[in-house]
Amino acid sequence: MAPPPDLSWILGALAAAALLAGLVLLLRWYRQRRARRAQLAAITGRGFEHLHNVLVPDGQGANLHIDFLLLTARGVVVIDLRDVAGNIFGGDQMTEWTVMHHSRRSTFANPQPGLYDRIAAVRALVSDLPVEGRVVFTRRGRFPKGLPKFTLLLESLAAEYPPADRQAMSTLLERWLPAWQRLCAATSPSRLDRPRPAV
């Protein structure tokens, strides 16, 4: 026995709504995945070699999580990636940085001291290789009063670390590769992959 016409219409409308909602979710997932891949490529493309989400021994029996380690033409770069939405107000001497997003105000700990600890831990493992670090913020964050020391926006990373020709750098890379391999051997995978919206 067929359902009444008005019930058929309701069931059809519900099925169409469910299908539309599923398509919207699928599209959103696909866009986030594509943006995340582009974000990863924008970072890892700065180096000849890279490590992502690793633990590095701190020399005192503990480990430090590092988002990215890059072997670049300038040596090893420690990248601390942050996805903070809104206007960010921070400075080198401030213990907390403030975020204004729409009508909300929040704070987070100054990421520079943690970056310095990570740089020191990496330097201890590769003493013959230059090591520097940057706190990199995704495009969702803005610094209206200027960027603090060792802080970059993701879109500025390419200018700070332009791609170098591997052939042209082959002599330097041969000299640096043993230290890089020591660093790789000293790391272990990290389960801490802080979720960061990429759109």
Q: What is the pLDDT of residues 12-67, one digit of tens each?
A: 788 888 878 887 787 777 777 777 777 777 888 888 999 999 999 998 889 999 99
Q: Does 198 fall in a domain?
A: no
Q: Does 194 fall in a domain?
A: no
All residues at 6 or more sequence positions from 52 whose CB lies less than 8 Å from its CB, including other chains: 40, 44, 67, 68
All residues at 6 or more sequence positions from 117 whose CB lies less than 8 Å from its CB, including other chains: 58, 64
pLDDT band of 85, cuts 50, 70, 90: very high
Instruction: Indicate the helix (H) or strand (E) that contains 35.
Output: helix 5-44
Q: Does 72 fall in a domain?
A: yes
Q: Helix 170-186 to helix 112-125 angle, to the nearest 10 degrees? A: 100
Taking a C-beta distance cutoff of 8 angstroms, is the pair 111, 99 a contact? no
How many domains are there within the chain?
A: 1
Q: Does 199 fall in a domain?
A: no
> What are 117-143's pLDDT values in tens digits?
999 999 999 988 999 999 999 989 999
How far apart, in whole angstroms, are the C-alpha atoms of residue 103 and residue 50?
A: 39
Both structure tokens of 33: 């995945």
198 has a pLDDT exceeding 60: no
> What are 86-109's pLDDT values in tens digits?
999 999 999 999 999 999 999 999
Q: Does 196 fall in a domain?
A: no
Q: Could you identify the residue written with the tokens 């992502």?
A: 52
138 to each of 57, 90, 177, 181, how far by Cα in Å? 27, 16, 30, 29
Residue range(s) defining the domain that contains residue 19: 5-189
Select from 154, 156, 142 the least CA-distant residue to 101: 142
